[in-house]
Structure formats: structure tokens, C-alpha cells
Structure 1
Amino acid sequence: MKLIAYYLPQFHQIPENDLWWGEGFTEWTNTQKAQPLYSNHRQPKEPLKDYYYNLLDPSVREWQASLARFYGIYGFCYYHYWFKGKRLLEKPLEALLQSDTPDFPFCLSWANEPWTRRWDGSEDEILMPQDYGDEADWAEHFHELLKAFNDKRYIRIENKPLFVIYRPGLIPRCEEMLEYWNKLAVQHGLPGIYFVRTLGGFDIPNQAGFEASVEFEPHYTFAHAHTQSLWSKIKKKENEHLVFDYDGAWEMILSRSPHRSGEQIIPGAYVNWDNTPRRGYHGQSCIGSSPEKFAYYLTRQIERAAQVYNSSFLFVNAWNEWAEGTYLEPDKDHGFAYLEAVRTALLNYAP
């Protein structure tokens, strides 16, 4: 079973974030300023040995890859940010492509929402709008992606580079764009592109051109299952905060049928969830999580990936989403326990 962990590249400074959020802003800024909102709410989340790394340091990427490989992660899925010719947070991937190290598989997920001050793609206070353009813009974007697709480390299925799109429903001429990209791919010696749509917390349009869909957890379950029983409110003075039950969410994930009109579905998993570093009381967090539970649920999801989904891949949310509370990297609370849970789950799986 090949576990692919989503990888956030926002752990370095960029001029746009300096302008929008203040000089020196990185993902660590939100992580470090987080506060506990209720009893036993563990914030801030702190990396083991205060390792507040900078992704522009090549030794960091080496450390991440060696750690992931040791505990059984097959590859990273880098978030890719493209806004009609404008790139953001591109430097870690750019540096990776300019070097042979780390020798670790990767693919890309186009996070194609506009950037806002709410962090979730909602249409208010837009900082970086998204415009999908026409064939000329699609060609420019394709040639940018081709640099990654041609890298020997890039993850392929059926010899096609695997490319995830987070919100295809936002793309007005999505089917035309995918067809055009496939045409360009063949012209450049590829058999095509293995397009994967994300099943997340939003409407799922019927669009042709995708080889598969991937379940993005826990968002997909929250949006497309009857989850009212999972949620409760914690009140503190005039504030209310939504929390959900870790076990209940996982049981819903594990009880769902993956079938969607015969298309290939790639299952997902989540480590934990707490986006209060970004959104404060307006965020959500889960209660009842532990590395031991994660090992148990991941074991079951790996088994389902093979037996129910007929998939050799499983996407994990996430490697390093520190400000959303879902990360595998070692921290002061649990050390390497969540990574150990990954190894345990893989060892428990006996195909």
C-alpha cells in the first residue's frame, strides 16, 4: 500500500504574505500564536526540539523525506498554487526540481481556490483572485507543470503523472482544459495525465476527463454524511466553539461505500483536526484523538483501500498541516508516535 501525505509548502517567507499578514509571516506564525480555547485543549502545537524549520533549507527537505521513508510514507503530495501565471509558495518545489535530492516520490495537488483572509476559499476579502483564462493560459500552466511531470521522482499511475485538482467545480471550462492538457502531454512524450478530482467539503459536479477521485478527509465525510451527532458546542463567556468526536468521524469514514458510478476512488485518512490557530473560536477541533487510535483506524482504512476500493494508494491529511492540527511530523506532545502509528498500520496490513 502506497501512502501519500499532503504537504504544505508555506513554511518559508514570501513577499505576498509579508504584505498581507506582516513581515516574516510563515505557517509557524499562526501555529505559535495559538491559544487553548477550552479545558484540555492542547495549544499551541509545538514541533519536537523547537524545530521551526524553513523549507528553503535543503537539509529540512532531506530530513522530512528520510523521516517519511523510514516510517513508511511512500510520497508527498505538494500543494501547488497557480493564479493565471502567478505562482505562490513555489520555491520549495522549485528547489526540489533543481536537485537530485531528496530522492523521494512526489506529486502535485492544485489548490485552485482564491486566497482570502478566512483561509478557506470563501468569497470575502480576496487577497489573490483565481482566473482560469483560456488556451494560452492553460498552455503556460501546462509547461510549468511539465517541469515536475518529467522528474523521475514524480508519481505516476499507468505511466501517467498523477495530478490532483482540489476544486474542479470552480473551473468554468474544466473538461476543455483537461482535454487540452492531455493533448499537450502526448505532444511532449507522455501517455497523458492521470487527473484526480478531490472529493471534499463542497459540491461535486459531473465533469468528464478525470481518471479517479480522492477522498479528502475529514472534509468529505463532514459534507456528505449525516454527521450531526458528531458535533457539539463548547461555550466560553460569549464565544462558542464547534468540536467533533474523533472516533465517530473515523467510524463514518470506515463505514462508507466508495462507489460513484463505477469510477476509481482513492481513499483518504486524517491524522487529527484543529484549525483554531488560523480561525480561533470560528474554527473546529476534534476531541478524543490519540496515536493509538490513529494506528487502529489507519490499519482498517488500509485494508479497505485494498479490499473495498481496489486501490494501491491512500492519501493522508497531512504531513505538516500544523495550523490545522493534522500532521505526522514529531511534536512535543507525542514525539514520533503518529509516525510510529503509520508504521504499525502498514505492518498490520497483510495482503
Structure 2
Amino acid sequence: MPRPTILAYYFPDWHSDPRNTAWFGDGWDEWKLLDAARPRFVGHRQPRVPASGHVDESDPAVAAAEIELAASHGVDGFLVDYYWYDDGPYLSGALDNGLLKAPNRDKVTFALMWANHELVDIFPYTDPADSRARRLKDGAISRPVFEQMVEHIVEAYFRQPHYLTVDGKPWFSLYEIGNFIAGMGGVREAREALDWFRNRVVEAGFPGLHLDAVVWGFGVLPTAVAVDDPATLVTTLGFDSATSYVWIHHADLQSFGFPRGDAGQLREEAFADYERLAKTLPVPFHPNVTVGWDSTPRISQDVPFVRGQYPFLPVFDQTPAEFAAALRRAATFIDDHPTEHPMITINAWNEWTEGSALLPDVANGLGFLEALRAEFGVRAERLAMLGVDGETGETE
């Protein structure tokens, strides 16, 4: 089997954004939530402390350092969480000003994962008496807004020489199929919108669009739009592949201990669901490996931490050794379900406020990245550019 392409989800809320300023005040970013986090139970590892400190990801120098770290440890590309609401893009500074302006930007590929979910105020969640946090933005955008987004994406991102393609077709992931259908007005209308998208990409000079569906087994987020029959919708809407975003989307978290959950059990339940998806979906399914899970920083520190809906979920604090075992589990899955373009997604590069970061922290150092490189090495065609020995992984 060829080495799988390793794609890490990149969460871009570690820089100043105009909407965040309007909602939460000057200079706000999610570092403020991480700073405020405190242990909620005995042995709880909070606050998480990044080894590099609280950096501004929209700084090209910061992006360059992270790109070097990713590429030299086997991360082939970033799937950047991309937000576009009724009034345009949100959190785009990390990509536009950081990743795309880094001098070494071509050392990794990138692609967009359209995070088209409703945005609610969990920054932090403050009212335990209110079962639903206030809505900041509706994720179900209209067809005209969708077309505006596509025009921008094709011109600003798809034309970048290091944008991820499959057989020459730009990759684009859609996070919530149900929300997309709701915004377009129905399944037929959703198919028409995606057909227009495909045609627009061809008009731009590409052989087509590689459309990837993020599929869920369980609706963890309270605002998620459930999809009862993903196989039928994947066929009807014309997706080319399917992926997972995070393990907790594939397990019934009510069956786990609280406040600490068993990461090994979560891994096995997720991969059991991956087996089901691989058998039922009409397109290749690419497995996900999750670093960990801890959404407690998104809860106000004076609010009790009790079992409930997101962000009141069990904590899964995986060690690098456990992560390495999960990578081997994903490699076995790929061997059992061979595809022309094997891929593994990683949650995540930098989801600090959800407890899932490949980036080094003061507790584990480079442990997660070293586990990734030990399992999969560095893609051969990047070795000359990186000056890294493919056998040892050491820099020349």
C-alpha cells in the first residue's frame, strides 16, 4: 500500500478577527479561554500550555514555523476550517495573512473544510439555566451567498499552486450536509447548487471538483442538523469521498464515564463506525485519528462541569503512546479498505480549546508529532525540499 496522505484539521481562532472584536471586545481570541481554564476534577490537565506560547497565527513568521514543524513530521497538508456566513468570511486571517504568506507555504498543501454549522456563543458558555447558547450566526446560508463564497474560493484558493487536488480536482469538504440542504431549500436544490459549483470549477480550468462529505454517527453538537441516511445523500448530491472530523462524532458519549472518558474505548467505537461507513457508503471513506478531547475551556469557570450537551462532555486525554496505537489502527483500516488515494485526517493541528492539538505543549513536547513521523515517515517527494532523511526522519 502507498503511504497515506496525512491531513490535519486547522482551527483558525488564534488571531484577532473583526467579528470577534465586535462580539467580545478588542484583542479577543481563544487564547483568552485557554488562559482562564482550570482543572475541573482530580488529575485534569488544564490549562493546556503550548510550547510556543500564545502566538498570532496570522503572522507569516508564525505560520512558517508551524509549516516547517508539520512538514518535517509527516503532516502533508492542512484542512483549514473555513467559515462563511450571510455577510461573508469569518476567521480568514489565519489563512489569508498567515499560511498563504509564509515564505515556505509550498512545503505543505492546504484545502478548505467548510465549517457550515451554526455559530453559538460558547466563548465561554455562561448560563447553565439556558439549554441553548445564544446564536451568533446561522450556518444555513442561501444560494446567492453560497455562490458568492464559491466565487471567492475558486479565485483566492483553488488557484494557489499548493492547494490540495485529487486527480487535478480541488478538494473541498462539507461539514454539515443537513445544514447545507436546509440553506439551499431541499435536496434537489442542494444538488443543483453543487452542480453549479462543479461547473464553475471546470470553467476556471480544472478537470472538476473533488467534493468530500464529513459524515457523523452521532449528533454531538446541540445545533447540528442530523442526517439519517448519509449513504443516500452522498450518492444523490454527488460526493467523491467521505471523511470524519473527530472521534466523538461516532460514539454515544452517554455510555462513557464522566468526567473522564476512556480514550481506548472511544477509539474502538469510532473505528467500529468507520467499518460501517466503509461498507455502506458508495465512495471511499478516509478514517480520522483524534489526538484528544477536552472542551472545558469553553465553559465559564464559575459554571459547574456536569454531564450534558456540548461543551459538557467527557474529557479524553490521550497520551502520545495511545495516539501512536490509533495511527496503527488507521493504517490497518486503510489496508483493509484500499483506495486509489489513501488518506488519514487528524483532529487536529491546533484545537487547543477542545483538547486536541498535534502542536507541542509543555506536558507532551513533540510526542504526538514524533509518533506520527515514526508511523508514517515523511512523504518522499518532500524530502529534498525539507532536507530530511526519509529513513531516520532527521534533518541533514
Q: In the alignment, does 2:335 pair up with 1:333? A: no
Q: Does residue 1:179 correspond to 2:195, yes or no? A: yes
Tell me the equivalent position of 2:187: none
In structure 1, C-alpha distance between the alignment counterparts of 2:191 and 2:123, rounded to whole Å: 27
Percentage of matched positions with identical amino acids: 27
The structure in which a higher percent of residues are strand is 1
CA separation in 2, counterparts of 1:149 and 1:100?
19
Q: Which one-letter code corresponds to 1:144 in the other structure?
A: H
- Aligned to 2:238, which of 180, 205, 209? 209
Residue type of the partner of 2:194? Answer: L
Query: Cα offset for 1:21?
Result: 2.3
Superposition deviation, residue 287 in structure 1: 4.5
- Give matches, 1:150-165, under 5 Å: 150-165=159-174
Q: 1:130 aligns with which of 117, 131, 139?
A: 139
Aligned residues of 1:215 and 1:267 also touching (Cα < 8 A): yes
Deviation string for 1:140-176 (max 9, x for gaps)? 2111111211111001112111100111211233222
Q: How does 1:214-253 map to 2 (within 5 A)?
A: 214-222=243-251, 228-229=254-255, 231-233=256-258, 242-253=259-270
What amino acid maps onto 2:344 in structure 1? L
Matched, 1:291 2:317: no
Aligned residues of 1:243 and 1:285 also touching (Cα < 8 A): yes
- For 1:239, the equivalent position in structure 2 comes to none
Q: Which residue of 1 aligns with 2:116?
A: 112
1:327 is paired with a residue of what secondary structure? coil
Alignment of 1:279-318 (within 5 A): 279=299, 281=305, 282-287=311-316, 289-308=318-337, 310=339, 311-318=341-348
Contact 1:296/1:345 (<8 A) preserved: no
Alpha-carbon offset, residue 260 of structure 1: 2.0
Aligned-CA RMSD value:
2.3
Structure 2 counterpart of 1:139, from 137, 147, 155: 147
Query: Equivalents in 1 of 2:100, 2:61: separation in Å?
Result: 15
What is the TM-score normalised by the length of structure 1?
0.88
Unaligned runs of 5+ in 1: 234-241
Unaligned runs of 5+ in 2: 125-130, 185-189, 220-225, 306-310, 379-396
Match of 1:267 in 2: 287
Question: Aligned partner of 1:189: which letter?
Answer: G
Deviation string for 1:116-159 (max 9, x for gaps)?
11379x9641112234222x433321111112111110011121
- Judge which range, 286-295 or 165-174, deviates more: 286-295
d(CA) in 2 for partners of 1:326, 1:288: 9
Point out 4+ residue stretches in structure 1 off by more than 6 angstroms.
none
Shift of the alpha carbon at 1:347? 4.9
Mapped contact 1:77–1:109 kept (Cα < 8 A): yes
Distance 2:101 2:71 in 1: 21
Equivalent pairs counted in the alignment come to: 334
Q: CA deviation at 1:58?
A: 0.7
Give the TM-score normalised by structure 2. Answer: 0.79
CA pair 91-15 structure 1, distance change in 2 beyond 3 A: same
Corresponding position of 1:66 = 68
Q: Output the CA distance in 2 between the equivalents of 1:48 and 1:342.
A: 18
In 1, Cα distance between equivalents of 2:345 and 2:268: 17
1:82-93 equivalent positions in 2, closer than 5 A: 82-93=84-95
Q: Work out whether residues 34 and 43 of structure 1, in 8 Å CA contact, stay in contact via their aligned partners in 2.
A: yes
1:13-43 deviation digits (Å, cap 9, x = unpaired): 1222123223321121111110100000010
2:291, 2:346 within 8 Å by CA — same for their partners in 1? Answer: yes
Q: Could you tell me how far apart the structure 2 residues matched to 1:170 and 1:142 are?
A: 17
Contact 2:74 / 2:377 at 8 angstroms: preserved in 1? no
Letter in 1 for 2:193: M
Aligned residue number for residue 308 of structure 2: none
> CA 1:288/1:89 → structure 2, altered by over 3 Å: closer, same or farther?
closer
- Alpha-carbon displacement from aligned partner over 1:51-99 (angstroms, at most 9, x marks no partner): 2110121111101110001111110011111013411111222224456
Q: Which residue of 2 aligns with 1:237?
A: none
